[in-house]
Amino acid sequence: MEELVIVGKVINFFGIKGELKVKSDFDKKERVFKIGNYILINNESLKITSVRIHKNNYLIRVNDINDINLITKYIGYNVYFKKSELDLQEDEYILEELIGATVMDNNDNIGYVIETYTSSNMNYIKVKYNNKTYLIPLIDQYIKEFNRDTKTIYTNNGKSLCL
């Protein structure tokens, strides 16, 4: 079965013409919310026929539906997208893949990822080690590589962020 990733949640409708209001913290949302792409909501495959951003949310129309009464049934459901259609390059990953990954600094195990955070200007991983947690920004200054096969993140000076 095709692997799906959660890319957002339908939080409401917008206007009376049938736009869905989608909140998304997905790190590659610009690849998902494009006209012609298919998303899955409540096990229904829906084609995005218009998209725009309003107050940090996506307003999307699906299957050319122009009637509010036909789209309210999607409110409250997660929005899924086929991972294979993200066209990830070999050195690219999505944030949810990092959860559970071992974090190494040189040859030292400095914990494992328990959560990811997305802010307006940077992404972070929350790492747990010896009953303490700390954040590492996902920037080149700290992250060298993520190995998908071994589910290991290699850091530069990640140990310096341990409190």
Question: What distance in Å separates the CA atoms of residue 82 and residue 32, rounded to the nearest whole number?
Answer: 9
Whether 25 is in a domain gets the answer: yes
Whether 151 is in a domain gets the answer: yes
Residues 145 and 108 in one domain: yes
What predicted TM-score, i.e. pTM, was given to this entire model? Answer: 0.82
Sequence-distant (≥ 6) Cβ neighbours of residue 133 within 8 angstroms:
114, 126, 127
Residues 15 and 43 in one domain: yes
Could you tell me the CA-to-CA distances from 70 to 17, 21, 80 in Å, in that order?
10, 14, 19
Residues 115 and 74 in one domain: no
Residues 8 and 77 in one domain: yes
3-state secondary structure of 14: strand
Whether 89 is in a domain gets the answer: no
Residues 106 and 152 in one domain: yes
Counting the structural domains of the chain, the total is: 2
For every one of its 163 residues, what pLDDT tens digit does the chain have, with 9 covering 90 and above?
Answer: 689 999 999 999 998 888 999 999 898 999 999 999 999 999 999 999 999 999 999 999 999 999 999 999 999 999 999 999 999 888 888 998 999 999 999 889 999 999 998 877 888 999 999 889 999 999 989 999 999 889 999 998 888 877 5
Residues 72 and 108 in one domain: no
Q: Which amino acid is at 56?
A: N
Q: Which domain covers residue 14, as residue numbers?
A: 4-84
Residues 113 and 133 in one domain: yes
